[in-house]
Amino acid sequence: MKHLIAPSILSADFTRLGEEIRTVESAGADWIHIDVMDGRFVPNISYGPIIVEAARKCTSLPLDVHLMIVEPDAIIPSFVKAGADLVSVHAETCPHLHRSIQLIRSLGAKPGVALNPGTPPEMLDYVMDDIDFILVMTVNPGFGGQKFIPQCLDKIARIRERIVRSGRPIHLQVDGGINPETLKQVAMAGADVMVAGSAIFQTDDYGKTIKEFHRILQR
């Protein structure tokens, strides 16, 4: 399986955001992961469409926008207009999950569904035909630099089985506490898109770090 690396700019140096994005792009990143937090669904506030718009000007890589916000439908068009290529909504925030997915698709972006650590994979059962990726949170969302929750490995494996049964090319993304130690475990469980914030941006040489990630994934 081909693995993709998606650096999360939440841990980037925001005084030099453009440079940080260009550096991870030339270091071999596959997607740029952008974490949107509203201080309601999660206990932290990050940034909105203007950062997506700024990132769009710095890279040709797909922009992967992770919406950790309540009532996302109203603001989804602004994120797509700003340049989001992939948009994930949390199942926990969408009473009309199917409608939110259709909305993302109708705007020309790829829809994904994110699940908190305590949310079961059954939430995905009736949307598997409509999504392009699934994001399994491997920490409780809200902050970078937290410790990986090992119980998530079983959920990753169960979701991989569902993807295989669906016969559709759905990416399985993991997010939170991904580092050289946990990388192999999530890959073995069936994840193929690895989001990493602190494990990339808190190192000195992003190229070396991303190469190390690929080396671990190939073993």
175 an active-site residue? Answer: yes
130 an active-site residue? Answer: no
Binding-site string for ligand DX5 from residue 31 to residue 50, where x marks contact by CB under 6 A and - marks none: --x-x---------------
* CA pair distance 73, 96, nearest whole angstrom: 10
Look up residue 134 and give its two tokens.
């699934």
Q: What is the DSSP string of the chain?
A: ---EEEEBGGGS-GGGHHHHHHHHHHTT-S-EEEEEEBSSSSS-B---HHHHHHHHTT--SPEEEEEE-SSGGGTHHHHHHHT-SEEEEEGGG-TTHHHHHHHHHHTTSEEEEEE-TTS-GGGGTTTTTT-SEEEEESS-TT-SSPPP-TTHHHHHHHHHHHHHHHTS--EEEEESS-SHHHHHHHHHHT--EEEESHHHHTSS-HHHHHHHHHHHHH-
150 lies in the site for ligand DX5, by CB under 6 A: no
18 contact choice in Zn ion, ligand DX5, none (CB below 5 to 8 Å, kind-dependent): none
Instruction: For the segment 96-135, give every residue that binds ligand DX5 (CB under 6 A).
Output: none
Instruction: For the segment 56-85, give every residue that binds ligand DX5 (CB under 6 A).
Output: 66
177 contact choice in ligand DX5, Zn ion, none (CB below 5 to 8 Å, kind-dependent): ligand DX5
144 contact choice in Zn ion, ligand DX5, none (CB below 5 to 8 Å, kind-dependent): ligand DX5
Q: Output 83 or 142, the one with its CB closest to ligand DX5.
A: 142
Residues in the interface with ligand DX5 (CB under 6 A) total: 22
Residue 70 CA neighbour count, 13 Å, CB half:
6
In the complex, minimum distance from the CB of residue 173 to Zn ion, in angstroms, rounded to a whole number: 9
The residue whose Cβ lies closest to ligand DX5 is: 197
Q: Known binder of ligand: residue 171?
A: no
Could you say which of 35, 38, 132, 192 is catalytic? 35
Binding site per annotation, positions for a divalent metal cation: 33, 35, 66, 175
Which residues form the interface with ligand DX5 (CB under 6 A)?
A: 8, 10-11, 33, 35, 66, 139, 141-146, 175-178, 195-199
Binding site per annotation, positions for substrate: 8, 66, 142-145, 175-177, 197-198
